A and B are shown apart, each in its own frame.
Chain A
C-alpha cells in the first residue's frame, strides 16, 4: 500500500513528514543544549530587564477595555466619584433609592395638589 499522494504540483507522504519532523526536533534540541544551563529559574535572571525596576504584574500593564473611556471618566470625575460612593452592590440600598426617588417624583407630580 502506497502512502504517497501525488498531485500536479508535487507529492505528500506522511512518512517523510514524520522523518523531517523528527529531524527538525533533533536540530532544535541540539540548539537548546547549547544554551547556558546554569541560570536560576526562581530568580530575577528569568525576568525582563526594566532598568532595575520591579516587574509590574500582568494586570497592571494590561490595557483594559475600560481604559478606552479614560478621558470621558476623567472629565466627569466629580460625577463618577459620587456614583461610585453610592454604588454599594447591596440590592436593599437600591430599593431604598428607588422608593426614595419615587416618593420625591410622586410628591413633585401630585404632592402640591
Chain B
C-alpha cells in the first residue's frame, strides 16, 4: 500500500523531559546542531507527540509526571519507538531510591532503546535513533503485511 513510507524519508522525534537536570537535553540539542546535524537526515524534533515516530525521554520520572508520560506515549501514532536518554531514565540514576520517583521509565511505558550515560554523548544519541529507526522499519513491514 505504501502508506507508511515516511520512515524512508524522515524520522520525527518528540522529546519529553521528566524532571531532567538538563544535561541530557543539551546533548540532544547538540546532536541536532551543526557538528552532528541529525536534521540533514530528516531527524528532527517536533512539537507534538501526534506528529512523532520516536519518543525521547530524559530524567528520573517523578510520580506526578508518570500519568502525563503515559498519555504522551498514547498520543503517538503507531508504529512508534521509545528511547530513554541518560542514567536517570534508565535506572533511576542517583535518584533511584527517592520517595517521589515513579521508577525507571520502562516501568511506566515500553522502552525500545536505552542510552546510558550522565549525560550520554551525542554520538550515542544518534546511534540510538538509528537503532529505533531499524525497529520502526521492522514494525512498518509487519503493519503493511497485516494490511495486505
Interface positions of A (Cβ within 8 A of B) = 34-40, 43-45, 47-49, 51-54
Q: Does B143 contact A (CB under 8 A)?
A: yes
Count of B interface residues, CB-CB < 8 Å: 20
Closest to A33 in B: B3
Q: Is the CB of A44 within 8 A of B77?
A: no
A44, B73: Cα distance in complex, Å: 9
Task: Report if B101 contacts A (CB, 8 A).
Answer: no
Please state if B77 and A52 are interface contacts (CB–CB under 8 Å).
no
**Cα of A44 to Cα of B49 in the assembled complex, Å:** 11
A49 near B50 with CB under 8 A, answer yes
Quick one: closest B residue to A54, CB to CB? B71
Contact (Cβ within 8 A) A34 B3: yes
A37 to chain B, nearest CB (A): 7
Q: Once the chains are docked, how many angstroms separate the CA of A47 from the CA of B16?
A: 18
B32 located at the interface, meaning its Cβ lies under 8 Å from any Cβ of chain A in the complex: no
Determine the residue in chain B with the shortest Cβ distance to A53.
B68
Instruction: Name the A residues within 8 Å of B50 (CB-CB).
Output: 45, 48-49
Binary flags per residue of B124-148, CB closer than 8 Å to A gives 1, else 0? 0000000000000000000100010
From A37, A43, A44, A45, contact of B3 by CB (8 A): A37
Return the contact of B76 from the options A34, A37, A45 (Cβ within 8 A): A45
Q: Of A35, A36, A49, A52, which one neighbours B69 at CB under 8 angstroms?
A: A52
Q: For A52, what are the chain B residues with a Cβ–Cβ distance below 8 Å?
A: 16, 65, 67-69, 71-72
